[in-house]
Amino acid sequence: MGGAGAGVSEFRSAHIVSSEIHWQAGAAMRFHLIDRIDRCEPGKALAASKFLALGEEYLKDHFPPFPIMPGVLMLQSCVEAASWLWRATTGFAHPVIVLRDLKQVKYGTFMQPGRRMDVTVDLTKTDGDLATFRAKGANDAGEQTVNAMFTLHGYSLTPRGPAGVAADAKLLEHWKARWALLTGALRAQ
């Protein structure tokens, strides 16, 4: 990955919004990158896992002879894990959570298909609708893949009127169902 400079240009090529990646080319790809939440201490920390399969859509272009998870998606896995920690901390008070500020991004080893990335996030500060996190990603061999500090902004669409109220309700229903799936709270009936 070549250090912090490589990640900066990669980060500028995408706009991260919750679990949606919008590439500048105009095509939207939607991913839920976190596959499992292993541990959550609301207000403190969360541990999650991302299992990288060779069949992941973005690997066909990144890079065909040597497929690796793009650095921006390793970072997005950290943002997604932090979003889950903030939802658990606030009782799902923010239907929309977006990346507000990014600092100290450092990339380590490549994430190759067939590996698991373990993501840990610590909540370091809250200030109203903003929350700051320190995140680390490491592969299943314990090698660092990504390390970053960032701030998330949470908000509701309710102030935008009836359509905002309806959108918030749908988003909250989605996030709560996804939380149940990721934490293992859903059981086969």
pLDDT tens profile 77-132: 999 999 999 999 999 999 999 999 999 999 999 999 999 999 999 999 999 999 99
The vertex-158 CA angle with 152 and 164, nearest 5°, equals 100
Catalytic residue among 62, 94, 153, 174: 62
Average pLDDT, the chain: 87
Is residue 62 part of the annotated active site? The answer reads yes
C-alpha distances in angstroms, 14 versus 73, 79, 158?
10, 14, 27
Topology classification of domain 4-156: Thiol Ester Dehydrase; Chain A (3.10.129)
Domain ranges of the chain: 4-156
